[in-house]
């Protein structure tokens, strides 16, 4: 006598074969008498016009104070296609859902199989999975994801590297295709080494957050460059003490700046004045005649039009505030230099968005205006330019200090008259002879670059940010030294760009200016600019003293030359 039994989760192998045709035969579109593509083409478009017509009818009823439940012929005409399409979509999705529950991808989702027509048989256990292969040398990386555009690529990193080397797969899209930024950098790095035959052994790849740079800091990374960070200070500035982080590979630089900080500190500190705070962007447009270009120039510079233009410009950000527009012409070409405050961001993108808003607005009244470029170099960004030296860009800062006579002698190892004379002959007259543009200083760029790299600023903006004139004068009957630096275009920010990277963020935290200032937007970036100016003052003071005392070569030979026996180090010998 046969016995009815059911086997949950595990069924006989021949029963699996018996039910497999049933599984393969059932499809989610079987209830539809027409092909799926045709039915979708019919029912999907019915949903949108039906809903739109019904909404129009409801709006008319609301305006006419007609109850919504009162149905008219247009109402029913709108509801029929809407309900039909909704029923079709629900039915189609429901069938697919039910089938996905009843049938798994292995074809063994019948939880209780009725075997009444067969003799009772012991269940056949599911075979154990095969042991996983030995881990790949890059097993620390995650599995491959989202490689649909490259179906010939397997889940093995070695095959991906081979595809890059042979030119069948571009490496610039790894981040989006693999979904793992660190893994993308490692694979790209290996492919680069194989294709070039070189070695990147000295460029580390581990220990860096590649997700943090995606889409904003660096493309196609293969690792990161290590940069030592020193600290100069404390710098006593406006009553506060600051330890200034400096990322540099130049010996003596941090030590020299630190000595200047000491001289400033024991003399009572330095004070700063912020003269301006405004980032610039200058598009260039062209007209058919110079007269027409001049008409736009007069329109932009008319005070009566400024408020309207400011409203249009300020739509780009809640921190963007248009301060002024300065125009210059070259024939039929008009250059418009927009200046605006940008909060705690350095602000280039913010200003560019605002400028684009104004250009779109002006196009209505000046349809013949041909926009050549959003940037016409009248800004001027990352280039030495007189307009930045004269008008300023970013933060314009003056930093000054009075160094006591005894400090000059004991700490700086020189005299006040020697410093005053050297500054006039070197920084002022010497720079004038060289035709320098904003370079009336000893080495402001050294300090600016080091602080910029440490705090995540744009290193290329060191060009205009290092514009500086250093002044020295004997005061208090010639006993003490008044020293100052005037820097009209320090371009810094505490949010955006490289400031959000871990190391750079830590350096900003050290200065107490990390992120945006919620109470006073822009206060953190302005404080950072004053710290940069204070550090430059310290660096100028120390280097000029070394030059006046004839210590420059001696100090560089002491701090900027390695005493290691490189021939023995290279051979791996030790004594």
Q: Is 568 a catalytic residue?
A: no
Res 92: pLDDT: 66
- Say if CB 491 and CB 460 are below 8 A apart: no
DSSP for residue 559: H
> Are the folds of 229-277+392-559 and 283-373 the same?
no
DSSP string, 190-234: HHHHHHH----TTS--SS--GGGGTTTT-SS--------EEEEEE
Separation of alpha carbons 516 and 58, rounded Å: 48
For 286, other C-beta atoms within 10 Å of its C-beta total 16
- Look at residue 2 in the predicted model and tell me its pLDDT: 43
Q: Which residue has the tokens 């430059």?
A: 536
Residue range 283-373 in CATH 3.30.70.420? yes
Tokens coding 559: 């701090």
Using CA atoms, how far apart are residues 508 and 361, in angstroms rounded to an integer? Answer: 39
Considering the candidates 99, 382, 413, 482, report the single residue annotated as catalytic.
382
- Tokens standing for residue 308: 């309207």
pLDDT for position 177: 85
Extract the tokens encoding 306: 């400024």
Determine the Cα–Cα distance for residues 536 and 158; give it in Å rounded to an integer: 50
Using CA atoms, how far apart are residues 288 and 290, in angstroms rounded to an integer?
Answer: 7
State the architecture of 229-277+392-559 in CATH terms.
Alpha-Beta Complex (3.90)
Tokens of 109: 């989702």
3-state class (DSSP) for residue 234: strand
pLDDT tens digit string along 46-76? Answer: 777 777 777 777 777 777 667 766 777 777 7
pLDDT, residue 176, reads 87
| Pairing state between β 284-286 and 321-330 | unpaired
Convert 53-92 to b/e letters by CB count within 10 Å (16 or more is b).
Answer: bbeebeeebeeeeeeeeeeeeebeebbebbeebeebeeeb
What contacts 564, CB < 8 A, 6 or more positions away? none
Q: Which value, to the nearest 10 degrees, does the dihedral of the CA atoms of residues 173, 179, 183, 189 take?
A: 0
- 458 in catalytic set: yes
Q: What percent of the chain has pLDDT over 70?
A: 76
Max CA separation in the chain (angstroms) = 125
d(CA 528, CA 167): 46
Mean pLDDT, the chain cut into blocks of 10 residues (575 residues total): 42 43 43 60 72 77 70 77 76 55 42 43 51 41 37 59 88 87 91 92 92 91 95 97 97 96 98 97 98 97 96 93 97 98 94 97 96 96 96 98 97 97 98 96 98 97 97 97 98 95 97 96 97 98 95 63 47 34
Determine the Cα–Cα distance for residues 222 and 195; give it in Å rounded to an integer: 14
Residues 372 and 333 sit within 8 Å (Cβ to Cβ):
yes
| CA dist., res. 183 & res. 562, Å (int) | 37
- This prediction has a pTM of 0.71
Q: CA 313 from chain center: how many Å? A: 23
**Pairing, β 321-330 against β 333-341:** antiparallel
CB neighbours of residue 486 within 10 Å: 19
Active site residue 443: no
Strands (E), 455-537: 468-475, 480-490
Strand partners, 485: 399, 470
pLDDT on residue 14: 47
First to last CA, the chain: 93
Integer CA distances (angstroms), 172 to 87, 143, 166, in order: 45, 19, 15
Catalytic residue among 458, 480, 491, 540: 458
CB 62 within 8 A of CB 146: no
CB-based contact 535:235 (threshold 8 Å) = yes
The single residue of 75, 250, 295, 405 carrying the catalytic annotation is 250
pLDDT score recorded for residue 53: 78
Beta-carbon contacts of 315 under 8 Å, excluding residues fewer than 6 positions away, are 354, 357
pLDDT at residue 85, as a whole number: 75
Domain boundaries, the chain: 38-94, 170-213, 229-277+392-559, 283-373
């Amino acid at each position: 006598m046969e016995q009815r039994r059911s086997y949950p989760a595990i069924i006989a192998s021949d029963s699996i074969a018996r039910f497999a045709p049933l599984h393969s035969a059932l499809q989610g579109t079987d209830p539809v008498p027409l092909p799926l593509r045709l039915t979708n083409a019919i029912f999907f478009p019915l949903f949108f016009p039906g809903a739109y017509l019904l909404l129009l009818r409801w709006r008319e009823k609301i305006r006419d104070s007609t109850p919504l439940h009162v149905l008219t012929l247009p109402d029913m005409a709108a509801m029929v296609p809407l309900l039909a399409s909704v029923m079709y979509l629900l039915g189609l999705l429901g069938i697919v859902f039910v089938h996905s529950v009843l049938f798994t991808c292995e074809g063994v989702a019948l939880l209780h199989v009725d075997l009444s027509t067969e003799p009772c048989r012991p269940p056949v256990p599911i075979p154990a999975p095969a042991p996983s292969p030995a881990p790949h040398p890059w097993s620390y990386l995650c599995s491959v994801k989202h490689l649909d555009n490259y179906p010939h690529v397997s889940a093995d990193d070695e095959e991906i590297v081979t595809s890059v080397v042979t030119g069948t797969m571009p490496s610039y899209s790894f981040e989006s295709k693999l979904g793992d930024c660190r893994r993308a950098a490692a694979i790209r790095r290996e492919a680069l080494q194989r294709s070039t035959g070189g070695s990147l052994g000295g460029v580390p790849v581990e220990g860096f957050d590649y997700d943090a740079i995606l889409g904003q800091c660096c493309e196609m990374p293969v690792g990161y460059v290590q940069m030592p960070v020193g600290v100069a200070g404390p710098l006593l500035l406006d009553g506060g003490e600051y330890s200034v982080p400096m990322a540099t590979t130049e010996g003596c630089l941090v030590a020299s700046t630190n000595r200047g900080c000491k001289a400033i500190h024991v003399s009572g500190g330095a004070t700063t004045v912020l003269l301006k705070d405004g980032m610039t962007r200058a598009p260039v447009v062209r007209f058919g005649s110079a007269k027409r270009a001049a008409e736009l120039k007069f329109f932009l510079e008319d005070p009566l039009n400024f408020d309207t233009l400011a409203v249009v410009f300020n739509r780009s950000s809640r921190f963007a505030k248009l301060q002024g527009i300065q125009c210059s012409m070259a024939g039929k070409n008009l250059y418009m230099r927009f200046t605006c405050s940008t909060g705690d961001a350095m602000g280039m993108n913010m200003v560019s968005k605002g400028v684009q808003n104004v250009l779109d607005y002006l196009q209505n009244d000046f349809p013949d205006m041909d926009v050549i470029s959003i940037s016409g170099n009248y800004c001027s960004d990352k280039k030495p330019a007189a307009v930045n030296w004269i008008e300023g860009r970013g933060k314009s800062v003056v930093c000054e200090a009075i160094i006591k006579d005894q400090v000059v002698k004991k700490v700086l190892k020189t005299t006040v008259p020697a410093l005053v004379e050297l500054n006039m002959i070197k920084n002022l007259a010497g720079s004038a002879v060289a035709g320098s543009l904003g370079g009336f200083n000893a080495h402001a760029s050294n300090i600016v670059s080091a602080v910029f790299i440490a705090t995540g600023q744009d290193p290329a903006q060191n060009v205009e940010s290092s514009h500086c004139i250093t002044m020295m004068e004997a005061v208090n009957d010639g006993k003490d030294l008044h020293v100052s630096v005037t820097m009209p275009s320090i371009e810094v920010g505490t949010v955006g760009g490289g400031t959000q990277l871990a190391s750079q963020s830590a350096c900003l935290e050290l200065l107490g200016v990390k992120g945006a200032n919620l109470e006073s937007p822009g206060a953190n970036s302005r404080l950072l600019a004053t710290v940069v100016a204070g550090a430059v003052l310290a660096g100028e003071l120390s280097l000029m003293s070394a030059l006046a005392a004839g210590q420059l070569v001696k100090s560089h030979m002491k701090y900027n030359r390695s005493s290691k026996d490189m021939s023995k180090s290279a051979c791996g010998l030790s004594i």
